[in-house]
Structure 1
Amino acid sequence: MSKELLGALSALEEEKGIKKEVVIEALEAALVSAYKRNYGQAQNVEVSFDDKKGEMHVYAVKTVVDDVVDDQLQVSLDEALEINKGYELGDEIKFEVTPKNFGRIAAQTAKQVIMQRVREAERENVFDEYSKYEDELVTGTVERQDTRFVYVNLGKVEAVMGSKDQMPNEVYRPQDRIKVYVTKVENATKGPQVFVSRTATGMLKRLFEQEVPEIYDGTVEIVSIAREAGDRAKVAVRSNNSDIDPVGTAVGPRGQRVQTIVNELHGENMDIVEWDEDDASYIANSLNPAEVIDVIFDDDNERACTVIVPDYQLSLAIGKKGQNARLAAKLTGFKIDIKSETEAKKILADKAAAASDDTEADEASDQGDQTEDSTEDAPTDGADVNTNPDESNEDTQD
């Protein structure tokens, strides 16, 4: 067994990258359990592996005491001193107790430990490899699909794509080659679990980085993405070079760059808008393709605003089922209320009228107060009127 075991340990280190010391440590722990299972649980034993000869040795570890209570765990001081004059109370002494047939048990245990370590190492290597792809695009092959998941073969691991990560306008067939975005990699008991998506905003960002060199190198930056996967998305971009138009760069000559992305996502429409540090301008840009007349911010909520558009642009600004407004709100982080120009004018007129009525009412109230004050201060033509009933009675009696 010794030569075979040493050869196996060397092969593991060279081929699998599993250090010999790691396997030996696991093997010694497993052999302790095997010994106790076969020869007695009560003993305190250690197993030592001689990596030069490939031999296993089992030792019973006993503590030096005055009076022995348990001879499997303790040894008397007198007996210890016969072994070595230097022993003291509390010291531990190792006695070799290797059984004659322990080689067979050791061989079986070694095989199991090595196989287990190989599986663990392979799982760890796969996890390390694929955890590097988290937040990245990878290409895989559709293996199968059930009612909830699509399973994608990425080579060494099968990735899982949940229902919310599947595009509503796509059909996944076995052997289809697809690009997916790795959202999470977990080191599970049965091996690495890789979760992928085609609906994540990160997928769209990585596609733009692939198709637009200026985005990949940071000349043009994606600031925000709002996406309703499979239908429509808005992407806000800005340029870190004043000579480069961020929107035109992202769209590409004759729209080729963005069209490649649209094709990859099977027809998902793209609105590329320019980010602006001025919130009003940014909000106006986000409602593209609609024209915006004005953006009025809410005094009570700094992240809310009313956007005024021409009457004929109202439907375009809101979008089908409110989609354009909804995506603009997600993109900018503002609550957006869209009004037509006519509606806005009416609201302003109503507010002005209400303000005028309030002013007139306040003026009338002020005049009434002034009249009352004048009446109280003015003298009467006749005698003073005393409203105190007691004083009135006294005057009458006189």
Structure 2
Amino acid sequence: MSMIELQGLKELIESISRERNLPRSAVQAAIREALLKGYERYRRAQNMERRQFDEDYFDNFDVQLDIEDQGFRVVATKTIVEQVVNSDHEISLEQVKDMGGEGAELGQEVILDVTPDKKEEFGRMAAMQTKQVLAQKLRDQQRQMVQEEFQDLESSVLQARVLRFERQSVILAVSSGFGQPEVEAELPKREQLPNDNYRANATFKVYLKKVSQGQQRGPQLLVSRADAGLVVYLFANEVPEIEDEVVRIVAVAREANPPSRYVGPRTKIAVDTLDRDVDPVGACIGARGSRIQVVVNELRGEKIDVIRWSPDPATYIANALSPARVDEVRLMDPETRQTHVLVAEDQLSLAIGKEGQNVRLAARLTGWKIDIKDKAKYDREGEDTKFAAARAKAAEEAARLEALEDEYDEEYEEDEEYDEKMALGRDFEDLDEDLEELDELDSDREEDVRR
């Protein structure tokens, strides 16, 4: 069998495998595919009379690499036929027997060496095409491996190291586990923490938000330092009661990048337990704040409020507004989840928080729309009347909409009855026409009999 030499093939495979963290089999597959593309290009150039090849024309061709002898050959799978129509896909039984295939039969497939005779010309063209295709194929192989490696690690936390900066994004090196090669991940500006110092080779814990698919350029791992999942992981890693499922995290509200630079990042986390002997808040804070301090340090000084979850909405809302002291929680409209929280005048600013951050996070944590009110100036009767009127108006609007739906349903039913009647009328008309045709046929027969 003929072969085209590729000097340094073995060293090329080894170096690409080492530099791109790809197995040698993947590199060999990419080189074979690139060489096959080179063969296609060569054939198209040689067969100018065949203006256009079908998309799957070269599917029966392949490239075999000879690593030891450092070369490759092109082979084709052909079907044995009695009369050859397309020599690229077929071979006659007589030709196969001439090549020593005495036991061959029609319909069988044989693999034949079809390496071009003009090796120098083909080798030069194949090398040019290989350079263009190989880089893309290797990138595709690498992206597929990264996707398979990290797909199951989405929504988990990884250790990362700063590599470089691209525009406003930080490019990090992350690994899927001990001994695994590092790959690049992107930390966009919106996912960064304002207090982080992203200097070269600095290490951080990051939350893997998404593993991108497709052929987009750049890192395909999107990581975050601002996601609430990072806070959940840090507490679960630091508090044994959470890992043992004695204490559970019910909800987290995080504002890692506040709308104003005068307000720092802050998180509220609601915890609960079914064990009466365990204080879930105390378990998360630890002795003298030792456990929560580890989390705060990892998040570069971010403020964290750990509050007790409660099945009673009023109690839960009061806890969520910590550290403010709440006097009363009035659930004004449970359906639309609106509530008034009454506090003393000296607690107003604390309950609302700097630029509204405290009440905003509490509302996000509980799922209720919270309106902070000064207890001394609160008009209880006036607010009750206002909400009662709003509920009455909403009920009236709901009744109006229901009446419209009923009216529409009645019209629709009438339309259906009309359609049925019309269809039935058309059926009777068709039947009358058929009977008239039968009468005419009978008359014609009687006339024939008389004659």
- Return the TM-score normalized by structure 2: 0.61
1:257 Cα deviation from its structure 2 partner: 0.7
Identify the match of residue 183 of structure 2 among 132, 153, 157.
157
- Conserved 8 A contact 2:4-2:123: no
- Conserved 8 A contact 1:143-1:151: yes
Per-residue CA shift, 1:256-305, capped at 9, x if unaligned? 11112112222211110011112121111111122223222233743111
- Conserved 8 A contact 1:64-1:92: no
What's 2:424 paired with? none
Identify the match of residue 348 of structure 2 among 287, 298, 314.
314
- Conserved 8 A contact 1:221-1:240: no
**Paired letter, 1:335:** K
Output aligned runs, 1:9-158, within 5 Å. Answer: 16=23, 18=25, 26=33, 29-30=36-37, 32-40=39-47, 42=50, 46-47=60-61, 56=73, 98-102=115-119, 105=122, 108=126, 119-145=139-165, 148-154=168-174, 156-158=182-184
Change (3 A) 1:342 1:57: closer
- Conserved 8 A contact 2:81-2:93: no
CA distance in 2, matches of 1:142, 1:351: 57
1:118 Cα deviation from its structure 2 partner: 5.1
Identify the match of residue 251 of structure 1 among 285, 294, 308.
285
Change (3 A) 1:50 1:316: closer
CA distance in 2, matches of 1:305, 1:153: 47
Identify the match of residue 175 of structure 1 among 176, 193, 201.
201
Identify the match of residue 196 of structure 1 among 218, 223, 240.
223
Residue 170 of structure 1 aligns to a residue whose secondary structure is coil
Change (3 A) 1:127 1:17: farther
Per-residue CA shift, 1:134-162, capped at 9, x if unaligned? 32222333334455222323363332222
Change (3 A) 1:104 1:116: farther
Per-residue CA shift, 1:35-76, capped at 9, x if unaligned? 42343163766435578998745559799899x9x887899x
Change (3 A) 1:10 1:220: same
Change (3 A) 1:104 1:16: farther
What's 1:221 paired with? 248
Identify the match of residue 328 of structure 1 among 338, 355, 362.
362
1:224 Cα deviation from its structure 2 partner: 0.9
1:241 Cα deviation from its structure 2 partner: 2.8
1:172 Cα deviation from its structure 2 partner: 2.6
Coordinate RMSD, CA, aligned = 4.5
CA distance in 1, matches of 2:203, 2:285: 26
What's 2:303 paired with? 269
- Conserved 8 A contact 1:250-1:258: yes
Residue 199 of structure 2 aligns to a residue whose secondary structure is coil
CA distance in 2, matches of 1:2, 1:232: 65
| Residue 237 of structure 1 pairs with residue 271 of structure 2 | yes
In structure 2, the gaps of 5 or more residues are 98-103, 176-181, 257-263, 389-451
Output aligned runs, 1:234-383, within 5 Å. Answer: 234-299=268-333, 301-344=335-378, 346-348=379-381
CA distance in 2, matches of 1:93, 1:146: 53
Query: Quick check: 38-47 or 260-269, which moved more?
Result: 38-47
**Paired letter, 1:226:** A
1:315 Cα deviation from its structure 2 partner: 2.5
Residue 194 of structure 2 aligns to a residue whose secondary structure is coil
- Conserved 8 A contact 2:321-2:359: yes
**Paired letter, 1:100:** D
What's 1:209 paired with? 236
Change (3 A) 1:18 1:94: closer
Change (3 A) 1:62 1:283: same
In structure 1, the gaps of 5 or more residues are 356-398
Change (3 A) 1:164 1:47: closer
Per-residue CA shift, 1:181-216, capped at 9, x if unaligned? 222222445464222222111121111122112223
CA distance in 2, matches of 1:122, 1:74: 33
CA distance in 2, matches of 1:120, 1:167: 32
CA distance in 2, matches of 1:74, 1:171: 63
- Conserved 8 A contact 1:24-1:49: no
